[in-house]
Structure 1
Amino acid sequence: MLAGWYERCGPADEVISVGEIEKPLAGPGEVLVRVHASGINPSDYKRRANIKAGMEFPRIVPHSDGAGTVAALGPGVSNYRVGDRVWIFNAQWARPMGSAAEFVSLPSIQVRPLPNCVSYEEGACLGIPAMTAYHAVFRDGPVKGQTVYVPAATGRVGAYAIQFARWGGARVIASTGSRDRMDEIKALGADVVLERSSDLAQAIMDKTDDCGVDRIIEIDFGNRIGFNEQIVAEGGTIVSYGAATPGKAEITLSPRRARNMSVHFIFVYLLSDAQKQTTCDGILQAIRDKALRHRIAGSVPLMDLARAHREAEAQAGTGHMIVTL
């Protein structure tokens, strides 16, 4: 089968190869998927570029997310049929074989039905970004009547978080560093879009009648904890799904402790099976309710995998880069 891979870390043009490798088989409890589209996430190109971290496997076929059709079923799998349209997630987590290949075999829990109204390219967006956003928004239950703040509104996760929160009945406040992106963010469903500035905290408090926001979907916890402490409501929650620098954060214990502020750190790869089920079911319901738009920055054929990685790195914040097969 045709696949892309790397055997050492470094710049995409120097380390990525595309060629023929052995086709996998569907083992017990697994589904063999013929991949039609593979989604690139920041974790994919950052891991490939990280020369300081040793290779976990002699060869890595990258990418966690994708979409395609069922090609074969392993022993013990009966909930799919050959030819079914599906999307997949966590393909390359803790294993060498990801979705940048014509075929990938995965445990059946990492394979989900793809509705006919969703293209393969759109289905390849649903893994890490949509699952992270859904879990971040609904981790503690319904958000109807709450106010949710999404600071990284144009990112892959942020864009889905806005849509899930709005679908869930929340009022959504978003912020952006670019005035030119405001209309785009409003189109995703944000009720209020604010430009990041020195008085952003006061602007958010003004928009919430000085009550603050109930939930913050935060990509940069360490750098923004001080700011978020100013705007989180009594009984509010900060959900951290990513971190830039620094690697540590200083949390004010008093008086915030008396206001019952909660902090949750989420890592989508390590959700429990029950959380995966709930998250995927919720995503599919949102799709059935026509509540999601999928932002695709571009599509590149597998033979140009190195170019796809370069463009994914360069186009952060504009949508998903998809590799087609």
Structure 2
Amino acid sequence: MRAAVYRSTGPAAEVLEVVELELPEPGPGEVRVRIVTSGINPTDWKRRAGLTGRTPDGFQVPHHDGAGVVDAVGSGVDGLVVGQRVWLYLAAFGNRYGTAAEYAVVPAVRAVPLPDGASDELGACLGVPALTAAHCLGGNPGALQGRTVLVAGGAGAVGHYAIELAKHAGATVVATVSSDEKRALAEDAGADLVVRYPDQDVSRQIRDVVQHVDRIVEVAPATNLELDLAVLRDGGTIATYAAEGDLVLPSGKLMTANVTLAFVLLYGVSSDQLADAVRWTSDALAVGALSALPVIPYALERVADAQDRVEQAAVGKVVLSVAAR
């Protein structure tokens, strides 16, 4: 099979190459998936660049997310059959076969049925962003009915799915963005109110429309904490999934308001919590509540350029189109 691999960490153009690998066989509890699309996340280029402190064991096929068709099933696998369309998540976590290849072998739990009405591009957009969003929202859609959620960075991948999942759960959603272009993306995702960061009196604009916010999905806690505390209700939660330098906490304000500050990294989420996030995402997907981000397509052979595009903070989702011969 053709596969993108890297054997050492470093710049994309220096360490990534497309090679021929022997077709892997699924072991017990695993499935092999013929990959159609491979979605790229910031965590993918950061790991390849060596920012996570991990080095490949021999070689690594990158990328956690993607969509394809089950090609072979290992022993002990229930619920998946050959020929079934699936979307993948965390494919390269503890596994050398990520989705930047014609085939990937993954634990069966990381392959989730993809409905007939959902495109392969949508399948490649899910994974890390949608599951992170679901976990930041508390993992339980029933708890959001009638609540108000603030999504910081509503045009990003996690922000996009935080808006859609929260709306699917019956919440009112406020989103913040940095530009009019991104405002349109957040509105398309279904946000009830979208406010630009550069505008004046952002907290007043929010409070003029909603009395308070119950939960915040935060992309830039150090930058936005003052705004968050200005609109969050007492006893509310700020769930942040991104780190941006040192965060200085006003402990008195946080304690007085009984604020819960949660830090989310999908790799460390428990299996039960991850299952909750997968279930919520799948339920929303089944009723057409989730949509693809604007897709920026690349061929497998241009994987280095594609990862660089993600590193440059492209607006939308960079996706490899992978076609098995």
TM bucket, shorter chain: over 0.9
* Distance (whole Å) between structure 2 residues aligned to residue 298 and residue 170 of structure 1: 30
Which whole-Å CA distance do the structure 2 matches of 1:19 and 1:65 have between them? 20
- Aligned-CA RMSD value: 1.9
Structure 2: how far apart are the matches of 1:221 and 1:23? 44
* CA–CA separation in structure 1 for the residues paired with 2:221 and 2:186: 22
Is 2:179 aligned against 1:178? yes
- Identify which of 293, 298, 305 aligns with 2:296: 298
Is the contact between residue 150 and residue 174 of structure 1 (CA under 8 Å) also seen in structure 2? yes
- Give distance in 2, aligned partners of 1:259 and 1:38: 43
Which residue does 2:128 correspond to in 1? 128
1:94–1:222 Cα change, 3 Å: farther
Q: Residue 142 of structure 1: SS of its match in structure 2?
A: helix
CA drift at 1:262: 1.1
Percent identity for Structure 1 against Structure 2: 36
Is the CA contact (8 Å cut-off) linking 2:139 and 2:276 kept in structure 1? no
> Structure 1 residue 252: deviation in Å?
2.4
What is aligned with 2:204? Answer: 202
Worse overlay, 307-316 or 83-92: 307-316
- Count of residues paired in the alignment: 320
CA distance in 2, matches of 1:307, 1:135: 31
Report the equivalent of 1:221.
221
Q: How far apart are residue 117 of structure 1 and its match?
A: 0.7
Map residues 1-325 of structure 1 onto 2, 5 A cutoff. Answer: 1-50=1-50, 53=53, 55-139=55-139, 142-196=143-197, 197-209=199-211, 212-246=212-246, 249-316=247-314, 318-325=315-322
Judge which range, 180-189 or 249-258, deviates more.
Answer: 249-258
Kept in 1, the 8 Å contact 2:61–2:97? The answer is yes
Residues 96-139 of structure 1: per-residue CA shift (max 9 Å, x gap): 22111111111111111011111222111110011111121233
Query: 1:89, 1:127 within 8 Å by CA — same for their partners in 2?
Result: yes
Q: Distance between the aligned counterparts of 2:292 and 2:194, measured in 1?
A: 20
Runs of 4+ more than 6 Å apart = none
Whether the 8 Å contact between 1:10 and 1:51 is mirrored in structure 2 is: no
Q: Which runs of 5+ in 1 are unaligned?
A: none
Separation (CA, whole Å) in 1 of partners of 2:219 and 2:61: 27
- Check 1:126–1:180 CA distance in 2 against 1; reply closer, same or farther (3 A cut): closer
* Structure 2 CA distance for aligned equivalents of residues 194 and 229 of structure 1: 16
Which amino acid is 2:301 matched to? M
Query: Once the two structures are superposed, what CA deviation does each residue of 1:154-194 show, in whole Å capped at 9, x if it has no partner?
Result: 11000111111111111111111112332332121111111
Change (3 A) 1:39 1:287: same
Q: Equivalents in 2 of 1:52, 1:120: separation in Å? A: 29
Give deviations 1:73-102, integer Å, cap 9, x for gaps.
111113211111111111111232211111
Structure 2 residues not aligned, in runs of 5+: none
CA distance in 2 between partners of 1:279 and 1:146 (Å): 19
Q: Does the CA-based 8 Å contact 1:89-1:110 persist in structure 2?
A: yes
**Structure 2 vs 1, CA of residues 149 and 6 (structure 1 numbering), >3 Å: closer, same or farther?**
same
